[in-house]
């Protein structure tokens, strides 16, 4: 084996991160102890929530440590095993990304079948990304057929699946917002009934034009003015599933919006934050539905692939800027 390379957090970003917050570190390829495996990572998942873990604040996951490798979803091939039930050559999903070789307890890895789908799909449509879209839309927001759904960051990994799943589950109208004309074009190709570029004017105005009869379900990936616009547009008994607020992850001042929250009373709105980890109960339905839709060619998923562990920080910065279409991945 050759040496191992991994990305460390060199310093905590204030506001927007830069390349200087990261450091490429060369180490030895680890050797497994009893019950352990070593995985040569093939794909690393790059996700917005990672920004929060770069701050030194208490949250639902501990902050990343300084001068230590970052972590996150990854998939790869087992190259050494001292564990029962996992063999060299197996493909496994695990949580130690941001490095070329991962040493982990076999219990922290899940074996997947690489012949069923491209392995990268296990980090996107068939993985946490897809299940976030599915659980948020159908369980947290409890979308019903005929309803109007609005999703922000709709050309992103989660958003593009939310919109398509909404249509597949009978939504009356699906509206998405995104950050470029090309993304808006892509949303139309994916079957969104309407889409707009949020740079084109106040979100509130664009949303009103795209959903003239109001919004029943809002899937929030953005926060800020998107959430404010959605609250204004929501119909009686509307529900917002709040998945993330990427618009403000790099803010150094608390955001001013939404300023119209009092509307939740008269309209009886529900705003509900969620993490996919609480929704394991939908896994069975999720796998059945999504595998079926993929087989039938009714569900598309986009990937933006950056090559090389050394470019993982650039991939992450690109994700925060919205450079990606669909899932942002690093191919090792």
Residues that bind a second copy (CB under 8 A): 52, 59-60, 223, 227, 236, 242-245, 248, 254-256, 258-275, 278
Q: E strands within 179-290?
A: 194-197, 215-220, 234-242, 270-273
Tokens of 168: 């597949």
Place of tokens 């497994």: 32
Shortest separation between residue 257's beta carbon and a second copy, angstroms: 8
Shortest separation between residue 136's beta carbon and a second copy, angstroms: 11
Tell me whether residue 27 or residue 270 sits nearer to a second copy (CB atom): 270
How many Å separate Cα 70 from the centre of its chain? 17
**DSSP assignment string, 139-205:** IIS---TT-EEEESSTTBHHHHHHHHHHHHTT-SEEEEEESSHHHHHHHHHTT-SEEEEGGGS-HHH
Shortest separation between residue 31's beta carbon and a second copy, angstroms: 36
Tell me whether residue 12 or residue 268 sits nearer to a second copy (CB atom): 268
What is d(CA 43, CA 53) in angstroms, rounded to the nearest whole number? 20
Tell me whether residue 1 or residue 261 sits nearer to a second copy (CB atom): 261
Backbone angles phi, psi at 80, to 5 degrees: -155, 140
Shortest separation between residue 263's beta carbon and a second copy, angstroms: 8
Tell me whether residue 27 or residue 55 sits nearer to a second copy (CB atom): 55
Contacts of 309 (CB under 8 A, 6+ apart): 5, 6, 7, 24, 44, 98, 99, 100, 330, 332
Percent of the chain as helix, strand, coil, to the nearest 5: 35, 25, 40
Tell me whether residue 102 or residue 243 sits nearer to a second copy (CB atom): 243
What is d(CA 215, CA 173) in angstroms, rounded to the nearest whole number? 9
Tell me whether residue 231 or residue 332 sits nearer to a second copy (CB atom): 231
Tell me whether residue 43 or residue 249 sits nearer to a second copy (CB atom): 249
Shortest separation between residue 73's beta carbon and a second copy, angstroms: 18
How many Cβ atoms sit within 10 Å of the Cβ of residue 179? 19
How many Å separate Cα 250 from the centre of its chain? 17
Shortest separation between residue 262's beta carbon and a second copy, angstroms: 4
User: Which candidate, 110, 116, 117, places its Cα nearest to that of 91?
Assistant: 110
**Torsion sign across C-alpha atoms 279, 281, 285, 291:** positive
Angle between helix axes 157-168 and 181-189 (nearest 10 degrees) is 30
Shortest separation between residue 183's beta carbon and a second copy, angstroms: 23
Tell me whether residue 52 or residue 172 sits nearer to a second copy (CB atom): 52
Shortest separation between residue 1's beta carbon and a second copy, angstroms: 38
């Amino acid at each position: 084996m050759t040496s191992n390379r991994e990305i460390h957090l060199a310093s905590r970003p204030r506001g927007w991160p830069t390349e200087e917050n990261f450091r490429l570190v060369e180490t030895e390829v680890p050797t497994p102890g009893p019950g352990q495996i070593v995985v040569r990572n093939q794909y690393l998942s790059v996700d917005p929530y990672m920004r929060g873990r770069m701050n030194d604040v208490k949250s639902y996951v501990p902050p990343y440590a300084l001068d230590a490798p970052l972590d996150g979803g990854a998939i790869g091939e087992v190259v050494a095993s001292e564990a029962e039930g996992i063999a060299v050559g197996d493909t496994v999903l695990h949580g130690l990304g941001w490095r070329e070789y991962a040493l982990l307890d076999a219990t922290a890895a899940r074996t997947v079948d690489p012949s069923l789908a491209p392995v990268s799909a296990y980090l996107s449509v068939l993985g946490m990304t897809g299940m976030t879209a599915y659980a948020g839309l159908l369980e947290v927001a409890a979308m019903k057929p005929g309803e109007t759904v609005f999703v922000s960051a709709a050309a992103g990994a989660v958003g593009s699946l939310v919109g398509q799943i909404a249509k597949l589950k009978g939504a009356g109208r699906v509206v998405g917002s995104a950050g470029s004309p090309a993304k808006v074009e892509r949303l139309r190709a994916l079957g969104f009934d309407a889409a707009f570029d949020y740079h084109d004017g106040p979100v509130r105005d664009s949303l009103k034009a795209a959903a003239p009869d109001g919004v029943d379900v809002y899937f929030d990936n953005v926060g800020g003015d998107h959430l404010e616009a959605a609250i204004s547009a929501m119909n009686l008994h509307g529900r917002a599933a709040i998945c993330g607020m990427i618009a403000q992850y790099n803010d150094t001042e608390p955001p001013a919006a939404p300023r119209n929250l009092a509307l939740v009373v008269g309209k009886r709105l529900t705003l509900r934050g969620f993490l996919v980890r609480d929704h394991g109960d939908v896994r069975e339905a999720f796998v059945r539905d999504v595998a079926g839709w993929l087989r039938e060619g009714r569900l598309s998923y986009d990937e933006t692939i950056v090559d090389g562990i050394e470019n993982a920080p650039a991939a992450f910065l690109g994700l925060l800027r919205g450079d990606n279409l669909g899932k942002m991945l690093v191919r090792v």
